[in-house]
C-alpha cells in the first residue's frame, strides 16, 4: 500500500506563525493544475504500481480550489495510480472558504475526510494569528460539514500561544469536544524565524510562554481528551476509536508515499526526495516536462533514525524486536542502553509488547529524548 500527498500552495493571506510553502498569487491556480497533471504523468512509476490507500490535499489552503478543480486533480490521480476503492481522501479547509454546497461538492468528488483549520475559538487569538475566519464561521463550517454527510472530521487547534491562558485552552478543548467530530490535531505553537512571529520575537515584541505554562496546557490536553473518549495516539493527534488518520499513520510507519506540488516530499523506502519550493520555478520546470527535485539516498543509520523519530511519537512506540531483526543486535543494544536511563526517570516505559513508548511526562521533552536515541 502507499499514499499520495498533493500540496496546494495558495493562500489569500499569510498567518503570522506559518512558514509552509505558499503563494498569494491565486491567479496561477490553473497553471498549477496543469503542472501537477504533468507531474502525475511523469511520476506514474514512482510507487511501482502499489495500491493507493490514502490521498491527502494539504497546503497552503486547498479549499481555495472549487470542487470542480479538486475533481480534475482526483481524476488525474485515479488515471495515473491504482487508487483503492476504500481510499481515505482528506482535504484541508479554512472555515471562511466553505459553505454547505461546497462540502456537498467535495462529497460528490469522493472526498471522505475533512481537516478544518480552526486553530482557536478565541476571537482575539484568531486576530493575533492573522486568521481570516471568526469563531462563528468555524462552528458553522463544522455544522455544514456534518449536514453534508461527512462522518470523519478533524479539527486543528494551536496551544502554547502567547496570551492564551490555561483556562482559555481548557475552554477551547471543551468547545471542540462538544462538537460531533472524530479527530483532533493539537499543535503547540512553534515560532519559526522566517515568520512575522519570528521577527517579533527577535525584536522583543513577542515572548514565548514559559515552560511551566506550556507543560500545563499539554496536561490539560491529555486530561480533556481522555474525558471525551479520545485516544491520544500521537503527540499532536487524538481521535475516537477507529478514526486514526490513515494517511499520517502511514507516514509514521514508513509506508511509501509520493508528494506532488511545490515543496512536497516523497519516500520510496530507500530514498527521500523533495520538490522545488518556489512556485514559479516549479511551474517553469514542469512546462518543460521536468520535475524540479532533490534526492537523498538513505543509509541504514538514516533509516534507523527515522524509525525512532516517527514511531516514538505514537502510542505504538518503538518495537525492540523489529529493531533487532531489521537493523542489528548492535542497534538493539545501542537503543536499549540509552533508553534505560529515561525509563528510570519515568520519561519512557517498556510495555508488555516489548515496545518502547513515551510517558506523558516524556512527551513534554520528546524532541530531546528522540535526539539522544538517534545514532550520530
- 263, part of any domain: no
* Judgement on whether residues 199 and 313 belong to the same structural domain of the protein: no
Q: What is the pLDDT of residue 19?
A: 84
Full residue range of the structural domain in which residue 323 is found: 299-376
Nearest Cα residue to 114 out of 245, 19, 20, 209: 245
Residue (of 183, 108, 105, 130) closest to 13 by Cα position: 130
Q: What is the DSSP-derived secondary structure letter of residue 181?
A: -
| 46 and 131 fall within a common domain | yes
Q: What is the pLDDT along the chain (376 residues), one digit of tens a residue?
A: 999 999 999 999 889 999 876 688 888 999 999 999 999 999 999 999 999 999 999 999 999 999 999 999 999 999 999 999 999 999 999 999 999 999 999 999 999 999 999 999 999 999 999 999 999 999 999 999 999 999 999 999 999 999 999 999 999 999 999 999 999 999 999 999 989 999 999 999 999 999 999 999 999 999 999 999 999 999 999 999 999 999 999 999 999 999 999 999 999 989 999 999 999 999 999 999 999 999 999 999 999 999 999 999 999 999 999 999 999 999 999 999 999 999 999 999 999 999 999 999 999 999 999 999 999 8
Give dist(CA 19, CA 199) in Å, integer.
Answer: 12
Give the integer Cα–Cα distance in Å for 265 and 260: 8
- Cβ-contact 264, 274 below 8 angstroms: yes
265 within 8 A of 274, measured Cβ to Cβ:
yes
The answer as to whether 284 is a domain residue is no
Instruction: Count CB neighbours of 345 within 10 A.
Output: 13
Place of cell 481522555: 226
258 part of a folded domain: no
* Same domain assignment for residues 68 and 206: yes
DSSP string, 17-44: T--SS-BS-GGGHHHHHHHHHHHHHHTT
DSSP secondary structure letter of residue 122: -
Q: What DSSP element (H or E) covers 125? A: helix 123-129
Please report where in the chains the cell 472555515 appears, as a residue: 95
Helices 100-108 and 67-80, interaxial angle, to 10°?
20
Total number of domains in the chain: 2
Domain membership flag for residue 286 = no
Contact (Cβ atoms closer than 8 angstroms) between residue 15 and residue 131: yes
| 8 A C-beta contact, residue 75 and residue 46 | no
Same domain, 222 and 358: no
- CATH number for the domain including 53? 3.20.20.70
Amino acid at each position: 500500500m502507499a499514499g499520495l500527498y498533493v500540496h496546494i500552495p495558495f493562500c489569500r493571506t499569510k498567518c503570522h506563525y506559518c512558514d509552509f510553502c505558499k503563494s498569494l498569487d491565486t491567479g496561477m491556480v490553473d497553471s498549477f493544475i496543469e503542472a501537477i497533471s504533468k507531474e502525475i504523468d511523469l511520476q506514474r512509476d514512482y510507487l511501482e504500481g502499489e495500491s493507493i490507500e490514502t490521498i491527502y490535499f494539504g497546503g497552503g489552503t486547498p479549499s481555495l480550489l472549487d470542487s470542480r478543480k479538486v475533481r480534475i486533480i482526483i481524476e488525474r490521480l485515479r488515471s495515473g495510480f491504482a487508487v483503492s476503492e476504500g481510499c481515505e481522501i482528506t482535504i484541508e479547509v479554512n472555515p471562511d472558504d466553505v459553505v454547505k454546497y461546497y462540502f456537498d461538492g467535495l462529497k460528490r468528488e469522493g472526498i471522505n475526510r475533512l481537516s478544518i483549520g480552526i486553530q482557536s475559538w478565541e476571537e482575539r487569538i484568531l486576530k493575533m494569528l492573522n486568521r481570516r475566519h471568526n469563531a462563528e464561521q468555524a462552528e458553522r463550517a463544522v455544522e455544514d460539514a456534518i449536514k453534508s454527510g461527512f462522518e470523519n472530521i478533524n479539527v486543528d487547534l494551536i496551544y502554547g500561544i502567547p496570551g492564551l491562558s490555561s483556562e482559555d485552552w481548557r475552554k477551547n478543548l471543551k468547545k471542540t469536544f462538544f462538537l460531533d467530530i472524530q479527530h483532533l490535531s493539537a499543535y503547540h505553537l512553534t515560532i519559526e524565524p522566517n515568520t512575522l512571529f519570528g521577527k517579533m520575537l527577535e525584536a522583543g515584541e513577542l515572548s514565548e510562554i514559559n515552560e511551566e505554562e506550556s507543560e500545563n496546557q499539554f496536561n490539560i490536553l491529555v486530561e480533556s481528551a481522555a474525558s471525551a473518549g479520545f485516544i491520544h495516539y500521537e503527540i499532536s493527534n487524538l481521535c475516537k476509536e477507529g478514526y486514526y488518520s490513515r494517511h499520517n499513520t502511514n507516514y509514521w510507519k514508513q509506508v511509501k508515499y509520493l508528494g506532488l506540488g511545490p515543496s512536497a516530499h516523497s519516500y520510496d523506502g530507500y530514498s527521500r526526495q523533495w520538490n522545488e519550493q518556489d512556485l514559479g520555478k516549479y511551474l517553469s520546470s514542469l512546462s518543460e516536462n521536468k520535475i524540479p527535485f532533490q534526492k537523498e539516498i538513505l543509509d541504514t543509520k538514516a533509516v534507523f533514525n527515522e524509525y525512532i523519530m516517527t514511531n516514538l511519537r505514537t502510542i505504538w512506540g518503538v518495537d525492540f524486536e523489529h529493531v533487532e531483526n531489521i537493523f542489528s543486535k548492535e542497534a538493539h543494544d545501542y537503543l536499549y542502553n540509552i533508553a534505560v536511563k529515561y525509563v528510570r526517570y519515568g520519561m519512557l516505559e517498556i510495555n508488555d509488547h516489548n515496545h518502547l513508548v513515551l510517558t506523558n511526562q516524556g512527551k513534554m521533552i520528546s524532541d530531546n529524548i528522540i535526539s539522544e536515541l538517534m545514532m550520530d
